[in-house]
Amino acid sequence: MVARLTAEHLRVKLGQPVIIDNKPGANGLLAASEVARAPADGYTLLAINSSGLMINPLVYRKAGYQLSDFTPVTMYTSFPFFLVTNAANPRTASVKSLTDFIALARAKPGELRYGSGGIGNFGSLAFEMLAGAADFKITHVPYKGTQAAQAGLLGQEVDALFDTPLTVPQVKAGRLNALAVTSAKRWGELPDVPAVQEAGVRNFDLTVWLALMAPAQTPPAVVEAIHAALAGIRDDPNLVRQLQAHGTLELTPPRDFAARLKTESAMWADLIRRQNIQLD
Mean pLDDT on 203-219: 93
CA atoms within 13 Å, Cβ hemisphere of 19: 4
3-state secondary structure of 211: strand
pLDDT score of 121: 77
- Asked whether 257 and 74 are in contact (CB, 8 A), the reply is yes
Question: CB-based contacts of 206: which residues, under 8 Å, 6+ apart?
Answer: 80, 81, 122, 125, 126, 129, 182, 183
Average of per-residue pLDDT across 252-274: 89
- pLDDT at residue 275 tops 70: no
Q: What kind and span of H or E run contains 212?
A: strand 207-215
Q: 116 - beta bridge partners?
A: 142
**Does 120 have pLDDT greater than 80?**
no
Q: Rounded distance, CA 48 to CA 35, Å?
A: 11
Confidence of residue 26 (pLDDT cuts 50, 70, 90): confident
Asked if residues 213 and 70 have their Cβ atoms less than 8 Å apart, the reply is yes
Kindly state the percentage of the chain with pLDDT values over 90: 69
Mean predicted confidence (pLDDT) in 182-204: 91
pLDDT of residue 241: 92
Rg (CA), the chain: 19
48 and 23 Cβ atoms separated by less than 8 Å: no
Residue 242, SS3?
A: helix
Q: Quick check: 190 pLDDT over 80? A: yes
Per-residue pLDDT, 137: 94
- pLDDT tens by residue, 146-166: 889 999 999 999 999 999 888
- What mean pLDDT comes out for the span 16-34? 88
Looking at the predicted structure, is the pLDDT value of residue 66 above 70?
Answer: yes
Tell me the C-alpha distance between 263 and 75, whole Å. Answer: 14
Q: Please, what is the average pLDDT of the chain?
A: 91
Query: What pLDDT does residue 166 have?
Result: 84
Predicted model pTM: 0.77
Residue range 246-269: mean pLDDT, rounded:
92
Q: How far apart are CA 130 and CA 126, in angstroms?
A: 6
pLDDT higher than threshold 70 for residue 280:
no
Q: Is the dihedral of CA 50, 181, 103, 156 positive or negative?
A: negative
The mean per-residue pLDDT over the stretch 128-134 comes to 89
Q: Are 70 and 46 in contact (CB under 8 A)?
A: yes
Q: Identify whether the C-beta of residue 31 lies closer than 8 Å to the C-beta of residue 55.
A: no
- In this prediction, residues 121-145 reach a mean pLDDT of 89
pLDDT tens, residue by residue, 69-99? 999 999 999 999 999 999 999 999 999 999 9
Of residues 185 and 213, more confidence is placed in 213
- Please say whether the beta carbons of 142 and 52 come within 8 A: no
Number of neighbours of residue 128 by Cβ within 10 angstroms: 15
